[in-house]
A and B are shown apart, each in its own frame.
Chain A
Amino acid sequence: MTTLGFIAKNALRNKRRAILSVGSVAASLFLFIILQVGVRELTLPVEDVGSASRVIARNRISLGQLLPAKQKPTIERIPGVEVVSPFTWFGGKFRGEEVMFAQFAVDPDAFLKISVDAHIPAEQAQAFTADRRACIVGKDTAAKYKLKVGDRMMIEGTYWPFDLELHVAGIYSGTPDDRNIFFNHKYLDEASGGGGQVGTWWIKVRSPEEVGPVTSAIDKAFMNTSAEVRAETERAFQLGFISMWGNIKTLISAISSVVVFTLILVSASTMSMAIRERFRELAVLKALGFRRRELFGFILAESFGLSALGAMLGVGGCWALLTFVPATTLTGNFFPTLEVTPRMLGLGSLVAAALGIISSLAPAISVARMSVVEGLKTLD
């Protein structure tokens, strides 16, 4: 019998226990990775190709405060600014319920130039700019509600005091979050009785290098006016949103550490249970002339192997689940990406490795300490 065979036989001798240990490691690592995925989803907004040269300008007071539409020409005159579009959140209900997609009013021509990542057939883009009541729908939302070009969408206003009746002119894809709906700002102006106000400005800057100067120029342009502005990169804007979540990140990290701790505790106890049961045998091995070092090797290899198997099932299972099962759709598109990154795979494996080592330590020490006679006398 080879050493490896010996270790494998030992590990699987009590099959029930082996399965339970592997299972508990797998369950905990699965949870650990899921939490990591969740934290990433909540704290790292997805970056896309164009976001480095895009700027969002909002009212300095807060997002809840609108901006005067007359600011547009002032922004357009700032050197480095290529295109400016109003970008106003509508926040309506669809089919009588709250929805996971946002509706934004934009200037269609400017929108198509700013949102370089959105793929949309030319004739659909044409239709979007031509019809005042037209909208374009992200492919995820279109799939979820079975919407196609030519359909009508009734959006019930909750934030704005009126409803919208939109015509689906096109379906876009290719942005990091293909859920939102964009419609013509002129329709919003008309419906709100005159307009004159926008939620935020969405601005494309000529090159990423000019973003810094442009944002400070915009801020300065409206300083000491009745509507002061704060311009920032799209990414900074999204990160600002996330900082409002407050302690959620701390909470999830705390839970992750509790999970890891529980995992180590439980597996370590199982592992040492398995070794204690074999004290007598280990004493025999000692009597046969195996050194402490070798015995320690056996134990380490066994626990390492079990936790590696658990990691494969837990981490791999999580990866497979999020890769092959449409988890984003199943969670009602609440999370747009849900992906296990290589970093998480590494972290999961690292935890498993540490687990394997730690849980073999306590039994290894007691085996090293025991005298042969004592070990042979053990009953349990």
Chain B
Amino acid sequence: MALPIKYNVRNVFIRWRSTIATIVGVALVVAVYVLVQALAVGLESSSANTGAPGNLLVMRKGSTAESSSQVKLDQLRTIQYLDGVAKDTEGKPLVSGDVLILINLPRRENKGEANILIRGIGANGIKLRPQVALMGGRWFRPGLREVAISKRLSARFANTGIGEKFKTGGHEMTVVGQFDAGSSAFDSEIWMDGDEARSIFDRENYSSVLLTTTSDLAATNLINRIEKDKTLSLKIVPEIGFYKTQTKTAGPIKFMGAFLATAMSIGAIFAAMNTMYASVGARTREVGTLRVLGFRRRTILVSFLLEGAFLALVGGVLGCLLAMPMNGLATGTLSFDNFSEVVFEFRITPRLWMNGLLFSVIVGLIGSLLPAIRAARLPVIASLKSI
């Protein structure tokens, strides 16, 4: 027969002083784990969130990032009139030759400088990205040194409010609008007219070409057509798929989270062990009594393991709650994919909660294993005699 769980739950709170210390210890470990993983999740979801279905992205064969790719003008001309490329209401192909330029801008409050991506887009560039919405001001006009900036980016960089001007190289750019890109990778960009960008930054070629297709079949055919064309030497991939692979930055963060959690959990396991040993020591007589009543060693073992797991689980819940206020908070770091600032949010997903709780239960089980074995092995008569 198993012992009622209520027995363990109550026992956890009897020695409240050491219990609280252990719970808080586990809570902090779980909070750190969840927060660091939330960074990685936020980064990944911002890239996984980017792109529209049906859109295809064309880049130079061999390039790993959009910013280091080059598409020549005549290549763009060839691509836009291929079969399967969708057209807008005026009959123009829904294609945008983009140019990506890294510029160095000062952060707000004199907190150093960082690189940002400027994306110069074609006339249909905005239409091709329905997840980007203008929040304030207006879109830039072609042929002028006007830019629209992501709202989140604007919060981080100096002189990027609507109506303000910033300088890059010798060129003065006017911010005329702010947009929201729905937590996608475009939230880390400044947009302007593509041809103007190419002339200011002295770029002969485009970086990439984005286009949309008339149907899935057309997309497949177009991919085959371009991939097979040796003279073009271009690669073409679904936009959504491409952004999903841009996750070089999340890797090291995940590693750091796992490392920190492992190292910290050793301390937490020691704490749980201490508490559980003390608990076993104080209840020696109780355990003897239980044995006399007919409870088996196995039952006692499971009971103490459950107690340890429950103790840590309380810590785990507390830890997740502690981490929750950071959910949705925007932050930024250097992207390893294109060496520019990437803005993203802490994302504490239900899955992360589950991981955090699971993690705490494991800490509790490991920490209580030895004390539970000790409790199960107590000799009945001797333990009944102990005070």
Question: Do the beta carbons of B264 and A62 come within 8 Å of each other?
Answer: no
Judged by a CB distance under 8 angstroms, whether B63 is at the interface is yes
Cβ-closest chain B residue relative to A225: B170
The number of A-B residue pairs with CB atoms under 8 Å apart is 162
Contacts of A71 in B (CB 8 A): none
Q: What B residues does A158 contact at CB under 8 A?
A: 62-65, 68
Interchain CB contact (< 8 A) of B115 among A16, A63, A98, A262: A63
Which of A111-119, A244-252, A287-295 has 4 or more CB atoms under 8 Å from chain B? A244-252
Contacting residues of chain A (337-380) with chain B, CB-CB under 8 angstroms: 379-380
Which stretch of A3-11, A44-52, A268-276 is in the interface? Answer: A268-276
Mark each residue of chain B from 257 to 274: 1 if its CB lies under 8 Å from any CB of chain A, else 0.
Answer: 000100110111011011
- A30 on the B face (CB < 8 A): yes
B111 touches A64 (CB 8 A): no
CB distance from A347 to the nearest CB of B (A): 17
- Which of A3-47 touch B at CB < 8 Å? 16-17, 20-21, 23-24, 27-28, 30-31, 34
Q: Is the CB of A258 within 8 A of B274?
A: no
Let me know if A62 and B102 touch, CB within 8 A: yes
Q: How far is the CB of B122 from chain A (nearest CB, A)?
A: 21
Contact A59 B169 (CB under 8 A): yes
Tell whether A320 is near chain B: CB-to-CB under 8 Å.
Answer: no
Of B28, B63, B169, the residue contacting A228 (CB under 8 A) is B169
Q: Mark B59-87, 1 if CB is under 8 A from A, else 0.
A: 01011110110100000000000000000
Cβ–Cβ contact B267 & A246, under 8 A: no
Q: Is B101 an interface residue (CB 8 A)?
A: yes
Partner of B32, one of A223, A243, A255: A255
B332 within 8 A of A: yes
Q: Is the CB of B334 within 8 A of A245?
A: yes
Residues of A close to B31: CB separation below 8 A: 258
CB B308 to nearest CB in A, in angstroms, measures 14
B19-27, B43-51, B129-137, B297-305: which lies at the interface: B19-27
Report chain B residues within 8 Å CB of A269: 17-18, 20-22, 271, 274-275
- Asked if A60 is at the interface of the complex by the 8 Å CB criterion, the answer is yes
User: How distant is B357 from chain A, measured CB to nearest CB, in Å?
Assistant: 18
User: Chain A residues with Cβ under 8 A from B65's Cβ?
Assistant: 158
Q: How far is the CA of A64 from the CA of B117 in the complex (A)?
A: 10
Q: Give the residues in chain A near B32, CB-CB below 8 Å.
A: 255, 258-259
Interface assignment of A2: CB less than 8 Å from any CB of chain B: no
Question: Is B112 positioned at the interface, with any CB of A under 8 Å from its CB?
Answer: yes
Give the chain A neighbours of B268 by CB distance below 8 A.
262, 266
Q: Are B103 and A268 in contact (CB under 8 A)?
A: no
Contacts of B20 in A (CB 8 A): 269
Q: Knowing A246-B341, A247-B332, say if A262 contacts B264 (CB, 8 Å).
A: yes
Judged by a CB distance under 8 angstroms, whether A74 is at the interface is no
Kindly list chain B residues whose C-beta atoms are within 8 Å of the C-beta of A159. 63, 68
Q: Residues 27-54 of chain B: 1 if any A CB is under 8 Å from the residue's CB, otherwise 0?
A: 0110110001001000000000000000
**A261 to B331 Cα, complex, angstroms:** 24
Q: Indicate whether B242 reaches chain A with its CB closer than 8 angstroms.
A: no
Report how far A63 CA is from B102 CA in the complex, Å.
8
B21 contacts across to A, CB distance below 8 A:
265-266, 268-269
Does chain A have a CB within 8 A of B5? Answer: no
Q: Tell whether, in the assembled complex, residue B267 and residue A24 are in contact, meaning their CB atoms are under 8 Å apart.
A: yes
Q: In residues 162-183 of chain A, which contact B (Cβ within 8 Å)?
A: none
Task: Report A-chain residues with C-beta under 8 Å of the C-beta of B286.
Answer: none
> With A28-B267, A30-B263 as given contacts, are A17 and B277 in contact (CB-CB < 8 Å)?
yes
Q: Which residue of A lies closest to B374 (CB)?
A: A16
Find chain B residues with CB under 8 A from A161 CB: 60, 62-63, 70
Q: Which residue of B lies closest to A157 (CB)?
A: B62
Contact A243 B67 (CB under 8 A): no
Within 8 A of A (CB), among B170-203: 170, 201-202
CB pair B333 A247 closer than 8 Å: yes
Known A-B contacts A161-B62, A248-B333, A269-B22; the reply to A240 vs B267 at CB < 8 A is no
CB of B383 within 8 A of chain A?
A: no
- Tell me if B104 counts as interface (CB < 8 A to partner A): yes
* B104 CB, min distance to chain A CBs, angstroms: 4
Say if the beta carbon of B114 comes within 8 Å of chain A. Answer: yes
CA distance A227 to B203 in the complex (A): 12
Residue of A with least CB distance to B252: A334
Taking CB atoms, residues of chain B closer than 8 Å to A228 are 169-170
**Could you tell me if A262 and B270 are in contact, using CB atoms closer than 8 angstroms?**
no
Q: Chain B residues with Cβ under 8 A from A266's Cβ? A: 21-22, 25, 267-268, 270-271
Could you tell me if A62 and B333 are in contact, using CB atoms closer than 8 angstroms? Answer: no
Contact check, A262 vs B114: say whether CB atoms are below 8 A apart. Answer: no
Q: Flag if B331 contacts A247 (CB, 8 Å).
A: yes
Q: What residue of chain A has the Cβ atom nearest to residue B100's Cβ?
A: A64
Tell me, in angstroms, the Cα distance from A38 to B63 when the chains sit together. 31
Q: Which of these, A61, A227, A263, contacts B104 with CB under 8 Å?
A: A61
CB-based contact B113/A262 at 8 Å? no
- Asked if A245 and B103 sit within 8 Å, CB to CB, the answer is no
Give A23 to B269 CA distance when docked, in angstroms. 10
B3 interface hit (Cβ, 8 Å) = no
Tell me, yes or no, whether B293 is within 8 Å of chain A by CB: no
CA distance A63 to B101 in the complex (A): 10
6 closest pairs, A vs B, by CB?
Answer: A243-B112, A269-B21, A64-B102, A24-B270, A61-B169, A62-B104
* B residues lining the A interface (CB < 8 Å): 17-18, 20-22, 24-25, 28-29, 31-32, 36, 39, 60, 62-65, 67-68, 70, 101-104, 107, 111-115, 168-170, 201-202, 260, 263-264, 266-268, 270-271, 273-275, 277-278, 282, 331-334, 339, 341, 387
Other A-B pairs beyond A62-B102, A248-B333, A262-B28, 8, CB < 8 Å: A65-B201, A159-B63, A244-B339, A246-B114, A246-B331, A262-B268, A266-B271, A272-B17
Could you list 21 examples of A-B contacts with CB < 8 Å? A17-B277, A59-B169, A61-B103, A62-B103, A62-B104, A63-B115, A65-B101, A65-B102, A65-B103, A156-B62, A158-B64, A243-B112, A244-B114, A244-B115, A244-B334, A244-B341, A247-B333, A266-B22, A269-B20, A269-B21, A379-B387
Q: Which positions in A face B, CB cutoff 8 Å?
A: 16-17, 20-21, 23-24, 27-28, 30-31, 34, 59-65, 91, 98, 156-159, 161, 223-228, 240, 243-248, 251, 255, 258-259, 261-263, 265-266, 268-270, 272-273, 277, 379-380
